Amino acid sequence: MKRFALTILLALMPALATTLAATQAAAQSYDDVVEAQLLPGWRLPNGDHMAALHLKLAPGWKTYWRSPGDAGIPPQFDWRGAQNMAAIGVYWPAPQVFWQSGMRSVGYKGGVILPLKVRLQDSGRDARLGGVIDIGICKDVCLPHRIRVSAVLPADQTKPDPAIAAAMADVPFGASDAGVTHVACKITPRADGMGLRVAIDMPRGTGREETVIEAADPNLWIADPDTGWQGGQLVAQTRVTHMSGGAFALDRSGLRITVLGGRMPVDIRGCTG
């Protein structure tokens, strides 16, 4: 009986160790792993307000981009605590691509400043930006983490914040600015959905390019693409499935292709047949 109990204990030790590590990491996450702050920014000449979310991470920790890859946790924003806000847009500086155990994730190591452009209901008054943000943070384990933030956006502040301006400068270039001349998307049927081949005519890069492909329909899942140069084109090949497993239509004009890891990050909107 004692031998049986010892055998069970030994078998459970890896799981217990993993649980303990996750518990310790979770406890740490609320103490010193991530610090979040809203930068109040400045009022723009057109009446909008430029602010930012500043995430600081402990050494070795990372968080995720808007499309985090098969191994990532997508961030979620809930701005219902805001006052005098009509709409908000998030600008994403170019992220890094991480590989671990054969799985790809896309995000930021050490921290990131996410610029926020706020459209106001009344541009002559102060606004309050507040809400709840759910992110994933990872080191040896990955944890969901909820952040509550709030800040006043003063109407009389018109001087730009250099930190926010620098983050805006790190946002990927548009297609024309990066020298993209044509993007073709070929769709083929598969038993589990569709195959998608994206061919991009653009200046040749480093040979280390990665691509991320997003669909306008949030119910569509696009696998991490295989990406490489074929002649003068950067080619990304992947598969697309519907979350329900059923049939679907794929709108080429709603596809968003981001090229990372090359000479410059590129944000491409839509493609032709």
In a domain, 28, yes or no: no
Rounded CA-CA distance 24/140 in Å is 11
40 and 164 fall within a common domain: yes
In a domain, 230, yes or no: yes
141 and 197 fall within a common domain: no
183: β partners: 200
More confident residue, 182 or 29: 182
In terms of residues, how long is the chain?
Answer: 273
Q: Which residue's structure tokens are 């990066």?
A: 178
44 and 144 fall within a common domain: yes
> Which residues touch 250 (CB under 8 Å, ≥6 apart)?
187, 194, 196, 215, 220, 240
238 and 261 fall within a common domain: yes
Q: What is the pLDDT of residue 140?
A: 84
Domain end residue (candidates: 145, 169, 193): 169
In a domain, 3, yes or no: no
How many distinct structural domains can be found in the chain? 2
Residue 71 above 90 pLDDT? no
101 and 200 fall within a common domain: no
Q: For the segment 77-131, what is each residue's pLDDT rounded down to a tens digit?
A: 999 999 999 999 999 999 999 988 888 999 999 999 999 999 999 999 999 999 9
Q: What is the pLDDT of residue 102?
A: 85
Q: For the segment 192-238, what is each residue's pLDDT rounded down to a tens digit?
A: 999 999 999 999 988 899 999 999 999 999 999 999 999 999 999 99
235: β partners: 199, 228
Q: What is the pLDDT of residue 100?
A: 81
Q: What is the pLDDT of residue 13?
A: 35
In a domain, 80, yes or no: yes
SS (H, E, C) the chain: CHHHHHHHHHHHHHHHHHHHHHHHHHHHHHHHHEEEEEEEEEECCCCCEEEEEEEEECCCCEEECCCCCCCCCCCEEECCCCECEEEEEECCCCCEEEEECCEEEEEEECEEEEEEEEEECCCCCCEEEEEEEEEEEECCCEEEEEEEEEEEECCCCCCCCHHHHHHHHCCCEECCCCCCCEEEEEEEEECCEEEEEEEEECCCCCCCCEEEEECCCCCEEECCCEEEEECCEEEEEEEEEECCCCCCCCCHHHCEEEEECCCCCEEEECCEC
Q: What is the pLDDT of residue 262?
A: 86
Sign of the Cα pseudo-torsion (42, 85, 63, 68, in order): negative
- Domain with 217, as residue range(s), is 173-269
Q: What is the pLDDT of residue 15?
A: 39
In a domain, 22, yes or no: no
What CATH number did the domain enclosing 133 receive?
Answer: 2.60.40
More confident residue, 108 or 142: 108
Q: What is the pLDDT of residue 244?
A: 94
64 and 107 fall within a common domain: yes
Q: Of 57, 51, 71, 187, which is closest to residue 119 (Cα–Cα)? A: 51
* 199: its two tokens: 């061919």
Single-letter amino acid, residue 220 = L
In a domain, 70, yes or no: yes
165 and 177 fall within a common domain: no
Domain end residue (candidates: 169, 196, 227): 169
Domain end residue (candidates: 113, 141, 169): 169
In a domain, 26, yes or no: no
Task: Tell if the pTM clears 0.95, that is, is over it.
Answer: no
CB atoms inside a 10 Å sphere around CB 257 = 23
143 and 188 fall within a common domain: no
152 and 191 fall within a common domain: no
In a domain, 12, yes or no: no
125 and 163 fall within a common domain: yes
Q: For the segment 8-60, what is each residue's pLDDT rounded down to a tens digit?
A: 333 433 433 334 344 444 444 455 899 999 999 999 999 999 999 999 999 99
> Which residues touch 4 (CB under 8 Å, ≥6 apart)?
none
Query: Rounded to the nearest 5°, which phi and psi values hold at 167?
Result: -65, -40
Q: What is the pLDDT of residue 30?
A: 52
